[in-house]
Amino acid sequence: MDYFQLSQSIGIDTLINKKLLAANNIFRYIRRGEVVALTRLNNLNAEILEFEVKATSKVNGEIIRELEFPRAAIIGGIVRNGKGNIALGDFRIEEGDRVVVCCLPDSISKIERLFI
C-alpha cells in the first residue's frame, strides 16, 4: 500500500495486494446476509458489497425508493437473470436478485440487516 500513490502517478491503474485480497475474502464470510462479493475502496474508506436477495430478505418485493436505506449507502446496480440493471427508484427488488451496494463502514450493519 506504500506504493499505491506512486503507482498512480506513473500510470499504473491497478495494483494487486495479496493482503487486501485475503482480507476481502475473510470479510465476505464474516458479513451477515448473502454476501456474494466484497471490495474495499481504500482511498474512499468505503466498501462495495454484493448481496443475493433471499425470500426472507427485508428488501424482497420492495421498490427501491420505499426502502429505509441508510444515507451513507447507495444501490449501484442490480443483476437479475445475469443481466445488469440500473438501480432506479421505481425498480422492484425480487428474490434471486444480486444487489450491489456502495456504503461507508458505519452503515454496513444496517445494510446487512436488510438482506438477512
Residue 3 lies in a domain: no
Domain with 93 in it: what CATH number? 3.30.70.1450
* Whole-number Å distance between alpha carbons of 23 and 115: 22
Q: State if pTM tops 0.85.
A: no
* Whole-number Å distance between alpha carbons of 111 and 18: 27
Q: What range defines the domain where residue 23 resides?
A: 17-115
pLDDT band, very low/low/confident/very high, at 108 (cuts 50, 70, 90):
confident
pLDDT of residue 6: 63
pLDDT, average across residues 27-49: 64
How many domains are there within the chain?
1
The chain-wide mean pLDDT, for the chain, equals 80
Residue 59 lies in a domain: yes
